[in-house]
Amino acid sequence: DRLLGLEIGADDYICKPYSPREVVARVKTILRRCKPQRELQQQDAESPLMIDESRFQASWCGKALDLTPAEFRLLKTLSLEPGKVFSREQLLNHLYDDYRVVTDRTIDSHIKNLRRKLESLDAEQSFIRAVYGVGYRWEADACRLV
């Protein structure tokens, strides 16, 4: 049955008994693969923010950013959709797809560190804006994915 299901197009198969956490993890994995490629603003060759996913590197106006993996994912998530407000919970879901025990204040810490690193390269630019009671949004230009 499992082989037949996979051969006719199923993306995954879960055997009983199953853990609800396993189901959630498998669904998130499939959704990650199915995310549409955002090609609206991110391909702007004039964008000062460049994100190279294959090398896990980012730069602002040609200056490299030294980011942790969490900061890199946070920067990518926010900058792909400038102006969109992300709640702390949404950002946590983008950062941690495993079942770590983290609070929504973890995002505040990552944002603080990311702001500090970005502002060290361009003190005049406003990058990340807090939206009171909601979350955060990217204020600068969209990124350019490489």
Domain ranges of the chain: 2-34, 49-145
- CA count, 13 A, side-chain hemisphere, 136: 26
Q: What percent of the chain has pLDDT over 70?
A: 84
CA 18 and chain centroid, separation: 29
- Note the pTM of the prediction, 2 decimals: 0.67
Options 3.40.50.280, 2.40.50.140, 1.10.10.10, 2.40.400.10; CATH for 49-145 is 1.10.10.10
Mean pLDDT of all residues in 46-62: 86
Mean pLDDT of all residues in 10-28: 82
Sequence-ordered list of residues with C-beta below 8 angstroms from that of 46, at least 6 positions apart, any chain: 141
Mean pLDDT of all residues in 69-96: 89
The listed range with the strongest mean pLDDT (19-23, 42-46, 81-85, 109-113) is 109-113
pLDDT at 38 over 60: no
In single-letter form, the type of residue at position 56 comes to F
